[in-house]
Amino acid sequence: MKWHTDGDRNTSYFQRVPKSDKKTNLISTIRSGDSVLTKPEQIANHISNHFKHLFSTNFDVLQDFPLVEKVIRQLVDEQTNNLLTVLPS
């Protein structure tokens, strides 16, 4: 209702809304397998370790799955690609 009456004006109400949303965006519990983590340090470590593992995949493993070649069609041949990617002299 407040949005319809005040519109896009930069009022104190609209300054408070993101602040109140930020307070409620808190992870208080998280399930890890069969256990439930409730301590903030445990939750932070679990999330941090999850993303470290997710983004530290060995590059050689990715080479075994030619997903890019299956999804994106080849526009240039190997010889043209070599010419385009050579370092300038």
CA-based nearest residue to 26, from 47, 55, 12, 54: 47
- Quote the number of domains for the chain: 1
Domain of residue 39 covers 2-83
Q: What digits encode the pLDDT tens for the residues 50-80?
A: 888 877 766 565 566 666 677 777 888 889 9
Q: If residue 81 lies in a helix (H) or strand (E), which one and from where to where?
A: helix 78-85
Question: Has residue 25 been placed in a domain?
Answer: yes
In a domain, 17, yes or no: yes
Percent of the chain with pLDDT over 90: 22
Q: Which of 21-25, 27-31, 34-38, 66-70 comes out lowest in average pLDDT?
A: 21-25
8 lies in a domain? yes
Please indicate, yes or no, whether the overall pTM of this predicted structure exceeds 0.85.
no
Give the model's confidence band at 24: pLDDT under 50 very low, under 70 low, under 90 confident, else very high. low
Residues 6+ apart with CB under 8 A from 43: 27, 29, 30, 37
